[in-house]
Amino acid sequence: ERLLSHNSDGLQLCLACRNMQRAEATRSHLLTSHPAAQVDLLQMDTSSISSVLRAAQEFKLRYARLDYLYLNAGIMPNPQFDVKAFVKGLFSSNVINMFSTGEGILTQKDGITNDGLQEVFATNLFGHFLLVRELEPVLCHAGQTSQLVWTSSSNALSSTFSLDDIQHQKGTQPYSSSKYATDLLSLALNNRYNKQGLYSSVICPGFMLTNMTIGILPFYLWKLLMPFFLMLRIFTNTLTLTTYNGSEALFWVFLQKPESLNPFSKYHSLTSALGNSYTQPHKMDINMETSESLYEKLLQLEKDMRGKLKDKEKESHHAKETCRI
């Protein structure tokens, strides 16, 4: 919506969504305020390898070029709020950090996808990784730049991520781990693709009340807490609360020259106590060595998963043939 308000003439949007009914509703909403806008839809479920491959194929048939790819889809399933840790945090010197990152007070219950991957890892990271790899021909063009924009989080914590368990099978903070892996992956992509004109940046929308976070507390409690959160903005500017404020950095990045952005920075949407939104870079807690190791592991996993997919296809082809005989 913000992109269209800025420039609805020259912009062609393609919304890649898992739920086509919701996608249609979004398209209608956008066309109501911007009747001349070009808004296309593409069905894609980032948690499913075959869906991502199919969507990428379809995209390449439809379009010759992709200038901006917003990698925003994300889940935080079954969030559990640790009241005890929260109360302890309230009386510690870490209290502001707790409200800006959610560190130490949230855990999740992860699931397994049909491909056999951890659901949070597959949805938030691996599906997007595959998509970027598949869309390479439309993203990399001589003499032009393209940009990947990842929605990461202030909850991306190195303590929750391990190179020995990139899917976070063993822990209880898959969301945080997937977001830290996002930061690492963006750096590795810059390292590999900048020469071909493809740049990657990471943003953090701050804390917003959305479908993802609303279930953490009962609805009436959020309502009651709203004045408290607005007051808390005096101490931390990370409480963006609305999606309009949260999208500030997504929009800001769109206006920048990709070459001018720092691959080690995360661009944060922030909102001041007076309600003004702005974007500020913060250095990420990442290094090139870990980022390259993660990239190698993702490439290996991609190879394994493509192998499995081929075996499955062969099996079903064989079953069909046997049926015919």
Ligand X SMILES: CC(C)=CCC[C@@H](C)[C@H]1CC[C@H]2C3=C(CC[C@]12C)[C@@]1(C)CCC(=O)C[C@@H]1CC3
Select from 2-10, 95-103, 140-148, 293-301 the region that touches ligand X (CB under 6 A): 95-103
User: Binding string to ligand X for residues 123 to 152, with x set by CB under 6 A, is what?
Assistant: ------------------------------
220 is catalytic: no
- Bridge partners for 69 per DSSP: 148
Calpha distance 110→113 (Å, rounded): 10
Tell whether residue 174 is a contact of ligand NDP (CB under 6 A): no
User: Exposed, middle or buried by CB within 10 Å (0-12, 13-18, 19+), for 1?
Assistant: middle
Return the residues of window 223-262 that contact ligand X according to CB under 6 A.
225
> Considering beta carbons, is residue 146 or 151 the nearer one to ligand NDP?
151
Return the residues of window 200-229 that contact ligand NDP according to CB under 6 A.
204-205, 207-208, 210-213
DSSP code per residue over 252-268: HHHHS-GGGS-TTEEEE
Give the phi and the psi of residue 206 in degrees, each rounded to 5: 80, -170
Q: Measure the N-to-C terminal CA separation of the chain; round to a whole number of Å.
A: 55
Tell whether residue 153 is a contact of ligand X (CB under 6 A): yes
Tell whether residue 118 is a contact of ligand NDP (CB under 6 A): no
Among 42, 140, 217, 230, binds ligand X (CB under 6 A): 217
DSSP code per residue over 63-127: -S--SEEEE------S-EE-HHHHHHHHTSTTHHHHHHH-TTTEE----B-TTSSBHHHIIIIIH
Catalytic pick among 175, 180, 199, 267? 175
Calpha distance 55→53 (Å, rounded): 6
Contact partner at residue 208 from ligand X, ligand NDP, none, CB < 5 to 8 Å by partner kind: ligand NDP
Tell whether residue 106 is a contact of ligand X (CB under 6 A): yes
Binding site for ligand NDP (CB under 6 A): 17-19, 22, 44-47, 72-75, 123, 151, 153, 204-205, 207-208, 210-213
Active site positions, annotated: 175
